[in-house]
Amino acid sequence: MARLKEPKTQIDRIREISPRYADLLDTNQNLHARYDAVIAESRPLAEEERRSQASWTAQLPKPKPQPKHRHSGAVALVGSLLSPQPAEELAPLPPPPSWPGEQRLRELSAEAENVSEAIKLIC
């Protein structure tokens, strides 16, 4: 009996003619799938963000912590008596997020932007 050949897909036929173009098409398809996955994961977080932004306290500007610098003249007078200045005073931590998923939503937004720009580059 003769073996039946499996029908070739369109991408297989393209790969025979131009492997580079077929790789480009595969990459494009993978990027679109990744973008769709990122958007699907970020939708619930975006909805949560909209709900948290509805409260007026979330819309108030947050004060940014300022570094604490010691007076140079005072340090010159008693510099040897002072303990080293802690890192928290020189570079204070940023304010905490307004709601629990804010950091993850920022990460997903940055990834979605990267994937979107990559798609633009190959198209």
pLDDT, one tens digit per residue, over 39-67 is 999 999 999 888 877 665 655 666 777 77
CB proximity list for 7: less than 8 A, separation 6 or greater: none
Separation CA 119–CA 13 (nearest Å): 23
Separation CA 55–CA 59 (nearest Å): 7
Cβ neighbours around 122 below 10 Å, total: 10
Distance between start and end Cα atoms, the chain: 46
pLDDT at 54: 66
pLDDT, one tens digit per residue, over 60-103 is 666 777 777 777 787 787 877 878 888 877 887 766 667 788 88
Q: Tokens 């004060």 appear where?
A: 63
**Which helix H or strand E contains 75, and what residues bound it?**
helix 72-78
91-117 average pLDDT score? 86
**Domain coordinates of the chain in residue numbers?**
11-52+102-123
- Which tops the pLDDT comparison, 9 or 2? 9
